[in-house]
Chains A and B, each alone.
Chain A
């Protein structure tokens, strides 16, 4: 966090190297968060750029109470939310192919048909979650954030962040099992909870 704030201070003083380092450090995570919300690479690139431009433009409002990362992600999420609710978005659909199933390290896995089908259903359900629940679930699952960090990023109390995550997961669980009962149970059989 200290390194993070030090870079921000140097950026404010006009140190271009600090600006570059901030962009290098956080472009991946910002892009990743936006892409999980709206998997369209071209639009995500645009929104990632806009998030950095907005952050540097408003850098005087950054109070160093949180990390630059969570502040930046908050800006990115808000920009994406605005984009998704804008008039132009209504006629645009995500273009990425959900069949390309990879893990976080980008490695392809041999997944069962049931696994793939459920994964696709689940991603559709994620997109239908209310914005706050979806954001909390994404930050927790994909970014491995603690609830304190999620609260910071979402600019809400700790308990609200936790509740949004919990409601999001419960809603996904309920709807996934409702629509894919047999497949879900087939997978559950092979899952060892104690591992």
Chain B
């Protein structure tokens, strides 16, 4: 009742003391208060109905569901075990979806990372690159460094060769050795498809 009393307490209920003007005010106030009361009641009904009629599903088993999400996350985020796998896994989406120019840049990035491994090793940029934060500008910047390095530092090839031998990816060494500069379109394709190059080697 407190709401109702508060809203009408300023009005004298004894009609004998009311002027015509007061009576009009009183009736108008009463009407508006009654309307507000009805409105509040209706809103309350809506809220109650919403709660009691909410669609309800049997809760999921939290443990099973947690494990299911975790395994999906694991599948969604490959965890590279070697330096080389890290590079490939980061480049693969680009190689699969972008044009040849992107493929060239991506392959160059691979070279840059390998040739410039030591200089990149202590660089936080490397970490960023390997965490899927590749963007076009960075890629081409690194690519241009890669070209310079691959032309200027013949001695780096030994390190590259050692590194790739360790990771079992000799095909890339072969591509670089054959071309001496940028690999051909065909060589790029081979670079982009590790499975194909492996089959070729087995033949």
Give the residue of B44, B49, B51 whose beta carbon is less than 8 angstroms from that of A104: B51
Q: Is the CB of B46 within 8 A of A172?
A: yes
Chain A: minimal CB distance from B2 (Å): 8
How many A residues have CB within 8 A of the partner chain?
53
Q: Is the CB of A96 within 8 A of B57?
A: yes
In the complex, what residue of chain A is closest to B65 when comparing beta carbons? A27
Distance of A20 Cα from B42 Cα, bound (Å):
43
Q: Is the CB of B52 within 8 A of A106?
A: no
Give the chain B neighbours of A24 by CB distance below 8 A.
62, 66
Give the chain A neighbours of B24 by CB distance below 8 A.
none
For window 99-116 of A, CB contacts with B under 8 Å fall at: 100-104, 106, 109, 111, 115-116
Contact indicator per residue, chain A 67-107, by CB within 8 Å of chain B (1) or not (0): 00000000000000000000000000010101011111010
Give the chain B neighbours of A111 by CB distance below 8 A.
52
Distance of A31 Cα from B59 Cα, bound (Å):
9
Known: A20-B70, A173-B43, A191-B44. Contact between A102 and B56, CB under 8 A?
yes
Give the tally of cross-chain contacts (CB within 8 A).
119
Distance of A142 Cα from B72 Cα, bound (Å):
28
Distance of A101 Cα from B53 Cα, bound (Å):
5
Query: B98 in the interface, Cβ–Cβ < 8 Å?
Result: no
Contact indicator per residue, chain A 174-187, by CB within 8 Å of chain B (1) or not (0): 00110000001001
Q: Is the CB of A177 within 8 A of B42?
A: yes
Main secondary structure of the interface of B (DSSP, over half): helix
- Chain A positions within 8 Å of B, measured between CB atoms, are 16, 19-20, 23-24, 27-28, 31, 35-36, 39, 41, 44-45, 48-49, 52-53, 56-57, 94, 96, 98, 100-104, 106, 109, 111, 115-116, 118-120, 122-123, 126, 137, 141-142, 169, 172-173, 176-177, 184, 187-188, 191, 193-194
Instruction: Knowing that A49-B69, A177-B42 touch, tell me 14 more A-B residue pairs with CB under 8 angstroms.
Output: A19-B73, A23-B70, A28-B60, A35-B55, A53-B73, A98-B53, A101-B56, A104-B51, A119-B53, A120-B53, A173-B43, A173-B46, A187-B45, A194-B3
- Chain B positions within 8 Å of A, measured between CB atoms, are 1, 3, 37, 40-60, 62, 65-66, 68-70, 72-73, 76-77
19 A-B pairs whose Cβ atoms sit less than 8 Å apart in the complex: A16-B70, A28-B59, A31-B57, A39-B55, A56-B73, A94-B55, A98-B53, A101-B56, A102-B54, A103-B51, A115-B49, A120-B53, A122-B53, A123-B53, A123-B54, A141-B47, A173-B46, A187-B49, A193-B41
